[in-house]
Amino acid sequence: MKDRPILLFDSGVGGLSVLGAVRDLLPSASLVYVADSAGFPYGTKGEVEIAARVPALLGRLAERYDPRLIVIACNTASTIALSHVRSALDVPIVGTVPAIKPAAEMSVTRVIGVLGTDATVRQPYVDDLAARFASDCLVLRHGSAVLVELAEGALAGVAPSLDRVAAELSGLFDQSGGDRIDVVVNACTHFPLLEEEMIAVAPHPVRFIDGAAGIARRVAYLTQDQDWPVAHQPDRLVFTRLGDRERRIASLLAARGFGEPEAL
């Protein structure tokens, strides 16, 4: 068991925000990070395509890397395909869901923003979370494919445009009641990678929250008392398409302890 890794999966590099939280709690863990670069982005795809693609890919990845646990570090994939993956694989699966509950607990104005992909914010799962944990709040939603692209580009060495970030945030804050938002849920794992830029251009002070810390705690709980390798190994980085962009990202991630990129 000690040589079996934790596998984290996302459509791109957004799940690195989750990987960082897992690494903080489990410094000895062996980690494999997989970006579905051939399928990126998920947020503009249909539910049927994602529900078919994600379990099939994770089945191949489970065969290759024999993980002790899989984290779907992607809100879109989790809200659409989590049940399908759990039915298909005999491996513990941890999903990623919008942090609406903690956002409601910290909101003073009782107006919460949910910022995700188009595919995530329209899911009935988000309706259910809002009804269960934020029934006394106004929950405003906005889907943005542009922010996903900007976050992905940032890890490829392209500085995000503050004007474009501000334009995307306006889709949330310009809604009726948006001037009273005091907490924004980053319902896409890419968005914490742009948090500094979003704080800088937000029309008024807000707090941003995401689910990375909660996911890490869940992973730590499910792997408690398990053995890990004695010697730390470099984190493994896997792409489903290994092109020039992915190689640029991999070169920048080498400083974070990743080895040479692999192709699925």
Q: Which residues are identified as catalytic?
A: 74, 188
Beta strands in 144-198 (DSSP E): 183-186
Q: What's the CA gap between 161 and 149, in Å, rounded?
A: 11
Q: What are phi and psi of 187, to 5 degrees?
A: -90, 30
Signed CA dihedral, 61, 65, 67, 70: sign only: negative
DSSP string over 97-140: ---HHHHHHH-SSSEEEEEE-HHHHT-HHHHHHHHHH-TTSEEE
Distance of CA 243 to the CA centre of its chain: 22
Q: What's the CA gap between 22 and 37, in Å, rounded?
A: 22
Q: What's the CA gap between 10 and 190, in Å, rounded?
A: 9
CB 188 within 8 A of CB 18: no
Q: What's the CA gap between 150 and 146, in Å, rounded?
A: 6
Reply yes or no: is the peptide bond before residue 205 cis, omega within 30 of 0: no
Q: What's the CA gap between 211 and 18, in Å, rounded?
A: 8
Q: What are phi and psi of 6, to 5 degrees?
A: -90, 130
